[in-house]
Amino acid sequence: MLDPAKRPSWSEQSQAAVRTPAPELRSAEPPESEQAVAPEAVRGRAPVQPRLVAAVMLIVAGVVWAATRGLEFYGLSPVKIVYDLDQPPLLLIAVAAWLLYRSRRR
Amino acid sequence: MILPHIQIARAHWLLGALFLAIVLEAYLPILRPDGRPEESRSVVIPWMLMIGGVGVWATTVFADVVHDMLIHTLWGDILFAAGALVLARRRGAYERPWLDWVLPLAFLGCGALFLVHVEIDPGGQGAHWHLAIGLLLLAAGLLELARLRWRQASAIPLGLAPLAAVALALIAIPVAAAS
Amino acid sequence: MAGAAAIAGCMAALLLMVPAMAGAHAVLETSAPSYGAVVSAEPGHLTLDYNEDVVPQLAQVSVLTPAGRDLAGTPRLSGSTVTVPLRSGPKGSYTVRWRMVAADDGHVTEGAFSFGVDAAPVAPAPLGGVGIPVAPELLAWLQFIGVVLAGGTLTFRALITTPAARALGERRGSDAPAAIGLAAIGAVLALHAALFAFLVGAYPVVGGGVGDFVDAQIIPIRLSTHAGQAFTLSSFAWLGALALIVGAWVHPRRREPLLAAAGALSLAIAFGISWAGHPASGGTLLVIADYVHLLAGALWVGGLVALIALAASIRSRSRAERDALFRACLLRFSTLALPLVLVLAAAGVYVAVGELPSLSAIVSSQYGIVLVAKAAAFAAAIALAAYHRLSVVPRVVAGAPAAAVRRTLTNEVVVLAVALALAAVLSQTAPPT
């Protein structure tokens, strides 16, 4: 890092989002000619976003958890869960909302 | 510092939720129409790691027992160093091929420290949970190292599963304890 | 970005809330008298409450008077409560040392605290003959090196290199990578050295074996000693300095102000070293003089290191550019060097006079002998500095290459490193009474 010969890898320019893939993904990707394209893209449809799937799963999990907790009010819940304002179901839904927010197209 | 159980539960829930948000953002890429993952230059992850490192160093300073101080020091060092290196890369200030190995090695280091913590205090509070979290972090680190080593290109890295399990464990621990 | 900042704040707060693990070990929860308490009359007994049962036969408690007399009788146990009858003693600060073995898993825990009988308690005194050899001196030296690398070199850049480069029409300092690397190394060194210096200093207070010290309860010592308080504040300050250095690394446009801020913060942290040292018992003026002495030394050595790093960084430039920049920096530093050395010497003499009870103590005490050795190293460094000022600088002004100066600067740094090592030994040597 102190060697001036290594200067090309020391950038004086701060970089915003660039067009090339991030380094972690770039080194993990095979050469372009070998890269498979998602079937949906071949048929012209946008691929299913993993983040959307994860967000939906979290929301469903949070709703099911809250409903299970709510059943205790009717004496039906088999599991005693500590009830508090910052209960886990709300947190899971909050994480899902954050994921969707960070996934929006800019 | 000994806190009431509900405060400990709240801390674990919120910490788990934050870790889950970070893990999902870091390892679930946005796919372009052609199916390739989109680049991410997000600085949220490295800043979270560095702030996490500072927080763990705070635990070092305020710890009650010497071995807690020593283990949290190493933890804090790993998180802060990993965050600084990833931040420098994402800001374009420093680029080297070996930076790919930073996060996987950080997971391995943190996982190993969890196991060391359990080894020092096997009868401690939540020791079996710490053991599980340690093993999951080791698994995440190994899977990510394998992905780098064999250049597996996949939209969703395998390391996501154990990392998400760590986050969910943090959320589930106090719930299970209170049940 | 505001959302990310909010999450960052929450995460930091949460990580502070996660408690340290204290499970199967017998943790002292409360005591009567409690640590730091002042009681009006001597207590007839001391009560220690642990979070779990302890082994009666292995319970050890001592309660020492200011003169070192142990007033503790045989401990009586009832589950997790230990009651120690106390013999009659004088007014003053009492040091309690305890060592317990948890009944369920046999883990040893130990600790020490103090309380006062009709007097303010002082920090628990260390046990004589207990300690880890060399470690305190080495860790003090590493803290000095950290202050030099982070505080001295960055402040030198802010005061000398950056203005000199701007005067020659350069927009950004080309020695930035070297400066950032050195400062990061210094901050990391100092942060960890402060932690281990605190632990090495706490070990003689608690006593027992080094292996058992790993399970020692440390909070009363951290809160009641200057060393512990300085460690608490300096840890966060060093982390702040590291954050500024990382910020300077990744934000080229804001690099210079961030590095200047990191340098200033690093020099400010050095006050903790003086405050936790011997001068603290001699009053505020002595602490300030010691701090000024430390600052002047850090700037002197840090400036030399920065000059050497600058010379190495600009090697790839043309000779004319190299020599112009190096000459400008060397001249500016030479102008500051004489006042720095005078301040360093004056403050050092003031502290020495304050610590030595008489002139004969210079040769009759270990402290005095180490002081003489340090002064001799300092004198050698001054001789080299005078050679620079009177012989080397005029040659550089006349056009001599910068490369010739690097060797003599390196020699001066080596001599000053030896002086710093002797200063570290001095800081860990008790002044004569």
Q: What is the pLDDT of residues A12-44, one digit of tens each?
A: 443 333 334 444 444 444 444 444 444 444 445
| Alpha helix stretches (DSSP H) within C207-254 | 210-213, 219-224, 226-250
C278 pLDDT higher than 60? yes
Q: Please list every residue in chain A whose beta carbon sits closer than 8 Å to the beta carbon of residue C10.
A: none
Domain residue limits, chain A: 46-102
Q: Please list every residue in chain A whose beta carbon sits closer than 8 Å to the beta carbon of residue B171.
A: 88, 91-92
Q: Which chains have 3+ CB pairs within 8 A of B? A: A, C
CB C252 within 8 A of CB A12: yes
Q: Please list every residue in chain C whose beta carbon sits closer than 8 Å to the beta carbon of residue B60.
A: 195, 235
Q: Which residues contact B2 (CB under 8 A, 6 or more apart)?
A: C19, C22, C27, C29, C51
Task: Name the domain count of chain B.
Answer: 1
Q: Which of C251, C253, C313 sits opposite A4 (nearest CB)?
A: C313
Q: Please list every residue in chain A whose beta carbon sits closer than 8 Å to the beta carbon of residue C251.
A: 14
pLDDT for position B178: 57
Query: If DSSP codes are grouped into helix, strand and coil, which group holds residue A56?
Result: helix
Interface contact A1, partner C, CB < 8 A: yes
ipTM, two decimals: 0.86
B39 pLDDT higher than 80? no
More confident residue, C403 or C310: C310
Domain encompassing residue B131: 5-29+38-178
Q: Please list every residue in chain A whose beta carbon sits closer than 8 Å to the beta carbon of residue B156.
A: 50
C176 pLDDT higher than 80? yes
Average pLDDT over residues C71-86: 91
Q: Under an 8 A CB cutoff, do A2 and C177 touch? A: yes
Interface contact A8, partner C, CB < 8 A: no
Q: Which of C24, C215, C239 sits opposite B123 (nearest CB)?
A: C24
**Which residue in C190, C174, C183 sits closest to C246, CA to CA?**
C183
Q: Under an 8 A CB cutoff, do C214 and B67 touch? A: yes
**Shortest CA gap A5–chain C (Å):** 8
pLDDT for position B99: 92
Identify the band that residue C168 occupies on the pLDDT scale cut at 50, 70 and 90: confident
Q: Taking a contact as any Cβ pair under 8 Å apart, which residues of chain A between 71 and 100 contact chain C? A: 98
Question: CA-CA distance, C64 to C96, in Å (whole number)?
Answer: 6
**Residue C46 backbone phi and psi in degrees, to 5:** -115, 135
In Å, what is the CA distance from A10 to each residue of B69, B73, B92, B97?
35, 29, 8, 13
Identify the band that residue B107 occupies on the pLDDT scale cut at 50, 70 and 90: very high
pLDDT for position B110: 92
Structure tokens at C86: 């106390």
Please tell me what DSSP assigns to residue A44: T
β-sheet with C45-50: strand ranges across: C28-32, C45-50, C81-85, C76-78
A89 pLDDT higher than 50? yes
pLDDT for position A41: 44
Q: Which of C15, C216, C252 sits opposite B58 (nearest CB)?
A: C15
Q: Under an 8 A CB cutoff, do A4 and C252 touch? A: no
Please tell me what DSSP assigns to residue A10: B
Q: Judging by DSSP bridges, how do beta strands C60-64 and C76-78 pair with one another?
A: unpaired
Among C19-28, C72-81, C95-104, C139-148, which stretch is predicted with the lowest mean pLDDT? C19-28
C19 pLDDT higher than 70? no
C300 pLDDT higher than 80? yes
Identify the band that residue A105 occupies on the pLDDT scale cut at 50, 70 and 90: low
Structure tokens at C368: 């005095």
